[in-house]
Amino acid sequence: MVSLPGTVATAAGTFAATNVDALILLVILFAGARAGSVRPRQIVLGQGLVFVMLVGTSIGMAAALGPVPLRWIGVLGLVPITMGVRGLIAARRRTESDPALTDKLTVVVALALSVCADNLSVYIVLFRVQTPAESALSVAVFVVLEVVWCVTAYTIAGRKTVILFVRRSGAWVVPILFLALGTAILVRTELL
């Protein structure tokens, strides 16, 4: 029998704990969108695609393979590090008319995947210990919270101070944040 309050609380806590970095990335991307560099629908679509990939992969791996070693997932931390280095190089050459972020959906997906891929290790274990009904309820909670995350990030990014900050210093701050996120992934997954 499914313990509704316990499963909802576990799913909500798991999502919140594993997606703080995703919320930060979403704020950065939405602020960039408000500054005119990325379309909000590309951000939402990219985040949605990554969410579906991660949850689907986690459920499949939980059923078939068990937990994946965290170090394997840590390699994806190199994606935001690479983006950060490229961004810093571009910022050095940047003129005021150049956008701070690209508008390609593939980049949004790559960034979201690099930030959220470490969630696999937690989600695989969660789905491994839950019944199918509890897993279905957890996925439903994840979907609701994913929407809340996007709305929250969009709202935060809509503040004039955030938009002005991204316009003025986004060419430097965004790459530095990507470097920090990538390094955090490498450290958190014990690759470094």
Tens of pLDDT, residue by residue over 116-172, are 777 787 788 788 888 999 999 999 999 999 999 999 999 988 888 877 776 677 667
Give the model's confidence band at 102: pLDDT under 50 very low, under 70 low, under 90 confident, else very high. very low
Nearest CA to 76 out of 48, 109, 125, 37 is that of 109
* Distance in angstroms (rounded) separating the CA atoms of residues 75 and 95: 33
**Distance (Å, rounded) from C-alpha 137 to C-alpha 6?**
11
Supply angle C-alpha 77, 78, 81, rounded to 5: 100
**The model scores a pTM over 0.85:** no
> 84 with 182: CB under 8 angstroms?
yes
pLDDT at residue 88, as a whole number? 83
